[in-house]
Structure 1
Amino acid sequence: MNADRGELAGTFKERARKALGDAHLRVALDRTTGNARTKRAAAVAAWPDFDRARAAAAAIKDHALQNFPYYLEQFERNALASGARLHWARDAKEACAAVIKICRETRAKTVTRSKSMLGEEIGLPHALAEAGVRRVETDLAEHIIQLAGETPSHIIWPAAHRTREDVSKLFEKHHRDHLLLTEVEAMVDSARRELRDDFFSADVGISGANFLVAETGAICTITNEGNAELTTTPPRVHIVTAGIEKIVATTEHALQLTRVLVRSATGADLTQYTTFHCGPKRAGDLDGPEEFHIVLVDHGRTQMLEDMPEMLRCLRCGACLNHCVVYRKIGGHAYGGAYPGPMGSAITPVFDGLEPSRDLPHACTLNGHCKQVCPVDIPLPTILRDWRAKSYRQGFESRAVRLGLALWAFIASKPALYRAALAVALPLLRRRGKDGWISALPFAPGWTESRDFPAPPEKTFLARIASGEEA
């Protein structure tokens, strides 16, 4: 990806190993993802029709994707009719160039920006800095990581790796009148005071879009803090950056998707602010931008439509991250790209190429929990398995891995040999265990470097099945 992620040095395995040794990170991740899982479970339990709504949401996205050219053309026609200006970008470079060109034409010195993972994907923060444009992140979590000089670690909670104690120290250092407090309300008040002047003095406001509505040419933003409205309304110019997969046919479809998106993301019924923006300020309007620009970004999405169209359903809710046993242990920065977790492992090879990102599809236990909680039923485990197979076929796996897989395939395909190997290996593993756990494995230190490995039970799965026991 084009984002400036220089602080994420090393390989995925090196970053993951470092994260696994960070006890402070585990505390922050446990707080954030644990709270998210609890709230989502309660929201789903309170809505008996959630599974039906989930199936309908997947169908809505598939319908838009199956009619991609038609709805994009309809959106363009209606957006232009509303007074918006459209800019089509084939890749990250063109998208950033379009935004910078608008900023230069309007002589923008300061831009405010509400949270947009597409901006991170295309490297917009770095592009603005190179162009000499002052960028002010207005989402609270994005404000935190901007002060810390970091990149987002979660697509919904960018500062998921930070505790409230960390945040208070950052605010004490960077805010003008912040006292070292850890009460959430006090820290929010401090950020509000710090950002207020920028909200009303910025030349340009930049937002993302949760949906592009074809029937009206409007874009929809879904937020909880109100910063998006303060980013998009007071400045003279509003720039929207959006992936073309955000297209939906109707406003009704956008609202149906919102119901499953919000429950999956935050466990709420609705966010505090669901706003439809349609063109610039009109005669008689009390507020709003004088110019309204929409930058529509492809950046691999057309290719994705051919190779793995289900991935374009993604609503960027973050549920797969919150329920991923790997993400919850290593956090987002270990993945190295803009998008972490299962969905990031699925799409990063599209943006960066498979060879440099081949470790990501392997960062998965294939337990299927990500698919189970996805509000649009994306088959993430299948997509990740397909990337693994492609990596093997293209020769990206090491010689040791290829030999190991060949040996495993040879043994597993011969039942008698497989049972004989188990008869030798399992007793040896049990003897290494203590109180049911193995703290070190010869020839496989990666399995026990950061955790204890469960010792095998006395009876194998196959033995239990053969004896009629419950497995």
Structure 2
Amino acid sequence: MNAPQQGFKERADAALKNAVLKIAIDRTTGNAERKRAVAIAAFPEFQAARARGRAIKDHVIAHLDHYLEMFERNATAAGATVHWASDDAEARAIITRICLEADAKLVTRAKSMLGEEIGLPHALADAGIERVETDLAEHIIQLAGERPSHIVWPAMHRTREQVAILFKEAHHPPPAADDPATMVQSARRELRAKFLGADVGISGANFLVADTGATCTVTNEGNAELTTTPPRIHIVTAGIEKLVPSTAHAFALLRLLVRSATGGEMTQYTTFHCGPKRPGDADGPEEMHIVLVDNGRTRMLADEFRPMLRCIRCGACMNHCVVYRQIGGHAYGGTYPGPMGAVLTPVLDGLAQSRDLPHACTMNGRCAEVCPVEIPLPTLLRAWRTRSWRERLEPRSVRAALGLWAMAARRPWLYLLGSRIGVRALRLFGRRGWIGSLPLAGGWTAYRDMPRPSGRTFMEQYRAGQAGRAGQTGRETRK
């Protein structure tokens, strides 16, 4: 796991030096980008579906109290017990209490980023309860002792070759070969007894259906079904923003979620859980508990970060992010990486501890272009930058430099003079058309080269071009 004393810049620096990490990131995000493009091209209704998805989420957010009460009422009528957690500590306490009261020794867990957000893995360990991650990628990172690096592919930072080494060390017997099919069979063999022997199964929820009280999970492995069905107790953890009015609305969003996340039309398993086992049911848990977690979400309702509550956790923003694709997820330091993480982490951890994340964005806007529910991520990141400036969290050197720039920008003659001097001075550092190192800009040139400037400012080139076109026009007129 990342050392807690490291900041974003140190983690990013380490990631940029890791050549194997770059290979792993390129394999996964590149494949995801290509598959999404194909899926969207084959779905001509995508823009209309996108507009509907945004409208559904905005409607729920505007009437969140109404749908929360409706969901609790219907989930309770279906036999589930609904718990409310105002923050991560309360959520952990509720879940561990349920497990301890059930005398649970073994807990299986399906992938849930909310569980990571509230620190559930550590809470279960502190309570002396064995936790087994059942998602294949989560199984990998549990063996490696790491945190997820992506919200859809938690182990995307690991290459197949690295996974083979982990499995050979941890699986008994070890896999006979290191091809993907053999390693998957080895993981299934390892996990099968855990599935059947668990006392409690814990899952997240992609959607909470208000008019039925059901929870919805989507997976491609079937591990969520094996996590939630055999144990005596099923615990669902979900953020309060996961609500949708009805099953039809859930499917409208599923059309967006799956195409944006994996490039498919539908996941292999889409399951709705509505209460515990009933008389006559062949299987299912004896108890179902749903823990609804706020943890800063109601604060977002009242400020400029409200649109972030639309997020359906597809991961498309990070798959297309030029920063994430260079440094991976662990460099962000929080539960959620990439553009959506750069917005959410200051909410969860405080801006003072995470102000570097909004500043790491290049503002190219690609994340907003691919977001299936049209979250204006660059706008939200700029809002954090503005708040950081107003709260005087920027280093003095940055504030001083921007003050000098502002002084010059308000005096055009001074700005133009400085630009002329600057572009000509930069040429002194160029070699073969590129600048490999530059005083006071080591953070930039450490991992990339700058093109050597032509020696003239943009305005000088523009005026020369205009003069050339005027001369050409004059010659044509004389003809």
Same fold (TM over 0.5): yes
2: CA distance, partners of 1:88 / 1:367: 39
CA contact 2:208–2:216 (8 Å) conserved in 1: yes
Alignment partner of 1:147 is 2:143: yes
The equivalent position to 2:183 in structure 1, one of 187, 193, 198, is 187
Q: Which amino acid aligns with 1:436?
A: G
CA contact 2:2–2:333 (8 Å) conserved in 1: no
Q: How does 1:39-438 map to 2 (within 5 A)?
A: 39-179=35-175, 181-307=177-303, 308-438=305-435
Alignment partner of 1:22 is 2:18: yes
The equivalent position to 2:448 in structure 1, one of 433, 448, 451, is 451
Structure 1 match to 2:472 = none
2: CA distance, partners of 1:56 / 1:266: 20
Instruction: Summarize the Cα distance change of 1:60–1:462 in structure 2 as closer, same or farther, 3 Å threshold.
Output: farther
Q: Which amino acid aligns with 1:53?
A: A
CA contact 1:8–1:334 (8 Å) conserved in 2: no
Instruction: Summarize the Cα distance change of 1:370–1:462 in structure 2 as closer, same or farther, 3 Å threshold.
Output: farther
CA contact 1:258–1:270 (8 Å) conserved in 2: yes
Q: Which amino acid aligns with 2:59?
A: H
Instruction: Summarize the Cα distance change of 1:78–1:179 in structure 2 as closer, same or farther, 3 Å threshold.
Output: closer
1: CA distance, partners of 2:6 / 2:87: 26
3-state SS of 2:431 partner = coil
1: CA distance, partners of 2:417 / 2:405: 13
CA contact 1:8–1:333 (8 Å) conserved in 2: no
Alignment partner of 1:12 is 2:8: yes
Measure how far apart 1:432 and its partner are: 2.1
Instruction: Summarize the Cα distance change of 1:211–1:465 in structure 2 as closer, same or farther, 3 Å threshold.
Output: farther
Instruction: Summarize the Cα distance change of 1:262–1:462 in structure 2 as closer, same or farther, 3 Å threshold.
Output: farther
3-state SS of 1:450 partner = coil
2: CA distance, partners of 1:465 / 1:49: 43
| Structure 1 spans left out of the alignment, 5+ residues | none
Instruction: Summarize the Cα distance change of 1:460–1:157 in structure 2 as closer, same or farther, 3 Å threshold.
Output: farther
Measure how far apart 1:137 and its partner are: 0.1
Measure how far apart 1:457 and its partner are: 4.7
CA contact 2:49–2:256 (8 Å) conserved in 1: yes
Q: Deviations over 1:137-171 (max 9, x none)?
A: 00000000000011101111101110000000000
Measure how far apart 1:462 and its partner are: 4.3
CA contact 1:411–1:418 (8 Å) conserved in 2: yes
CA contact 2:176–2:182 (8 Å) conserved in 1: no
Q: Deviations over 1:166-196 (max 9, x none)?
A: 0000000000122363311111111000000
1: CA distance, partners of 2:195 / 2:287: 17
3-state SS of 1:241 partner = strand
Measure how far apart 1:249 and its partner are: 0.7
Further displaced range: 429-438 or 71-80: 429-438
CA contact 1:83–1:280 (8 Å) conserved in 2: yes
CA contact 1:100–1:128 (8 Å) conserved in 2: yes
Measure how far apart 1:430 and its partner are: 2.9
Q: Which amino acid aligns with 1:117?
A: M
2: CA distance, partners of 1:233 / 1:211: 18
Q: Which amino acid aligns with 1:387?
A: W
Q: State how many pairs are aligned.
A: 466
Higher Rg of the two aligned structures = 2
Measure how far apart 1:455 and its partner are: 2.6
* TM-score, length of structure 2 as denominator length: 0.95
2: CA distance, partners of 1:7 / 1:202: 32
Instruction: Summarize the Cα distance change of 1:465–1:48 in structure 2 as closer, same or farther, 3 Å threshold.
Output: farther
Q: Deviations over 1:6-53 (max 9, x none)?
A: 645411111111111111111111111111111111111111121111
* TM-score, length of structure 1 as denominator length: 0.96
2: CA distance, partners of 1:454 / 1:54: 39
Q: Deviations over 1:60-80 (max 9, x none)?
A: 100000000000000000000
Instruction: Summarize the Cα distance change of 1:42–1:457 in structure 2 as closer, same or farther, 3 Å threshold.
Output: farther
2: CA distance, partners of 1:306 / 1:463: 48
Q: Deviations over 1:180-233 (max 9, x none)?
A: 633111111110000000001100000000000101100000111100000001
2: CA distance, partners of 1:189 / 1:435: 53
What is the percent sequence identity of the aligned residues?
Answer: 64
Measure how far apart 1:419 and its partner are: 1.9
Q: Deviations over 1:227-264 (max 9, x none)?
A: 00000011111000000000111111110000111111
2: CA distance, partners of 1:262 / 1:62: 20
1: CA distance, partners of 2:186 / 2:27: 22
Measure how far apart 1:416 and its partner are: 2.5
3-state SS of 2:175 partner = coil
Measure how far apart 1:272 and its partner are: 0.5
Measure how far apart 1:454 and its partner are: 2.6
CA contact 2:171–2:190 (8 Å) conserved in 1: yes
2: CA distance, partners of 1:463 / 1:288: 74
Runs of 4+ more than 4 Å apart? 457-466
2: CA distance, partners of 1:156 / 1:113: 15
| Structure 2 spans left out of the alignment, 5+ residues | 470-479
CA contact 1:168–1:180 (8 Å) conserved in 2: no
Q: Which amino acid aligns with 1:37?
A: E
Measure how far apart 1:420 and its partner are: 1.7
3-state SS of 2:302 partner = helix
3-state SS of 2:218 partner = strand
Measure how far apart 1:408 and its partner are: 1.4
1: CA distance, partners of 2:31 / 2:247: 31
